[in-house]
Amino acid sequence: MKAIMVVGTTSHAGKSMLVTALCRIIRRQNLRVVPFKGQNMALNSYVTATGAEMGYAQAVQSWAAGLVPNVAMNPILLKPQGNMTSQVILKGKPVATLKATEYYEKFFDTGWETITKCLDYLQKEFDVIVCEGAGSPAEINLKHRDLTNMRVAQYLQAFTILIVDIDRGGLLLM
């Protein structure tokens, strides 16, 4: 199984667009490719044919891969509700509305278990998984509770691409 992880130095660095492009390029190589984002925070969601909710960007990526959108591609969707609170959508279904601190304290184990089950399923069904991180993998305050960046890359032993955005700080090489 091959896996590619796309992470960025910030949100809005271009991760979703690159994952979409990679899915289309890999599909054109006659490989079975699938997009994946373990946890997404967005109000812009897509409702699947079964009535389940997932991130709209992952739906677009699935179309680029020639697939029908499936919640296994985005098992955790956080829909911001304001005041540091989000509705938690797990595998397409709402399960809770939690403050950020509650989410990180109470949901990490369930979230990671759900993500790994989806990854295990996708590994069996596809030749390549193209993963998208969220925010920045260097957010030290979230590293121990990160469900969507380097923990996923390590789990899959994924080749990792770092996207930098010159408008949001760029990159300093040493």
pLDDT digits 0-9 by tens, 141-157: 666 678 889 999 999 99
**C-alpha to C-alpha distance for 153 and 36, rounded to whole angstroms:** 11
Checking if the pLDDT of 168 tops 80, the result is: no
pLDDT band (50, 70, 90) for residue 125: very high
Query: How confident is the model at residue 13, as a pLDDT?
Result: 82
Task: Return d(Cα 143, Cα 145) in angstroms, integer.
Answer: 5
pLDDT for residue 20: 97
In a domain, 174, yes or no: no
Q: What pLDDT is attached to residue 145?
A: 75
Mean pLDDT of 59-70: 98
What gap in Å lies between CA 36 and CA 130, rounded to an integer?
Answer: 6
Tell me the two tokens of residue 109: 């184990």
Q: Is the pLDDT of residue 2 over 80?
A: yes
pLDDT in tens, 4-48: 999 987 778 889 999 999 999 999 999 999 999 999 999 989 999
Whether residue 26 is contained in a domain is answered as yes
- How far apart are the C-alpha atoms of 91 and 68, rounded to whole Å? 15
DSSP characters over the chain:
-EEEEEEESSTTSSHHHHHHHHHHHHHTTT--EEEE-SEEE-S-EEE-TTS-EEEHHHHHHHHHTT----GGGS-EEEEEEETTEEEEEETTEEEEEEEHHHHHHHSHHHHHHHHHHHHHHHHHH-SEEEEE--S-TT-GGGGGG-SSSHHHHHHHT-EEEEE--GGGT-----
What pLDDT shows up at residue 9?
Answer: 79
Residue 171 lies in a domain: no
By DSSP bridging, strand 128-132 and strand 159-163 are unpaired
pTM above 0.95, yes or no: no
Instruction: With respect to residue 73, please indicate whether it lies within any of the assigned structural domains.
Output: yes
Number of domains the chain is built from: 1
pLDDT of 169 strictly over 70:
no
Specify the CATH number for the domain of residue 81: 3.40.50.300
- Does residue 99 sit within a domain? yes
pLDDT-wise least confident of 50-59, 77-86, 115-124, 160-169: 160-169
Residue 75, in any domain of the structure? yes
Domain assignment present for residue 172? The answer is no
Q: Summarize pLDDT for 70-112 with one digit per residue, the tens.
A: 999 999 999 999 888 999 999 999 999 999 889 888 889 999 9
173 part of a folded domain: no
CB-CB neighbours of 33 under 10 Å: 26
Domain encompassing residue 120? 2-166
